[in-house]
Amino acid sequence: MTRRLLLLASLLLFTAGCGVVPSSEDEATDAAREVARKAGQQLYGQRPRTAEEVGRAATGINGVEVLRLTGTSTHDGDGIDVVVRTSGSATSGGLDPKEVTVRRCFAVRVSPKSEWRENPRDVDCPDSPPLAFAPPPEPPRLPYEELRAKLPWVPEGGRVDEAEVRRTLAALDLHPAIHAEVKADGGRVGVLLAVEGNGFDPQDCLLARVSPGVNDVWAPPRMQRMPGEGGCTVNNALNPQPAPH
């Protein structure tokens, strides 16, 4: 009897010291939750995005299915809640170990107020198929070759005609999303062709300068096309910034 009591006491001490051993299903659920957490990290950011943009980005993450979107914009109210379904696996213990795989759903918040590596919330899986999103529209191509070929050539000692440069741009029949700007200064004419940026990523733009004896057409370096750097301006066409080091 005394021996049994000692064994029971030892077992209780061992259990208290080690804690409850998690089940393989719990471990698999934790693995699925970690996939959702990493998805939240990839979606994290300060750039304003619509629900469609967030959903489209989430569907491109490996191992993630998007089942529901709540909210209209990351910067409106509490942002956007994305319900995702992920899977996780773990191996059961014992003499006959087996792999256990589970599929679970979690809500990931995408908002400038959310925290880095914010824990996703456990939610019930909606009874609906995964959402699908059409690919985003391709931005219009900036006509580098066409612009270079059609800009008026002015011989050395000649005079650049701003009106002729404007007529050249009009003849290119530019896409409506391309913003065009022309400016004359010091006997030269600068040209800017740009597609509106999102305020966070590099803007897509093309610069040109018509001077007596030489025409130049170029795209500024990526660093200069970042918001606030002034690379995508007609002034940069007339007086280019030095190349970044």
Contact 154/160 with Cβ under 8 angstroms? Answer: yes
pTM: 0.67
Q: What is the pLDDT of residues 123-151, one digit of tens each?
A: 999 999 999 998 888 889 999 999 999 99
Q: Is residue 7 part of a domain?
A: no
* 97 and 183 both lie in a single domain: no
Query: E strands along the chain, which residues?
Result: 65-70, 80-91, 99-110, 121-123, 178-185, 188-195, 204-211, 214-218
Residue 219 token pair: 């795209």
Taking 50 as the pLDDT cut, the residues of the chain under it are 1, 5-20
**Domain range for residue 150?**
144-238
Contact 106/120 with Cβ under 8 angstroms? Answer: yes
* 98 and 167 both lie in a single domain: no
State the DSSP code for 232. S
Q: Is residue 222 part of a domain?
A: yes
* 159 and 234 both lie in a single domain: yes
Q: What is the pLDDT of residues 12-24, one digit of tens each?
A: 444 444 444 568 8
pLDDT score at 136: 83
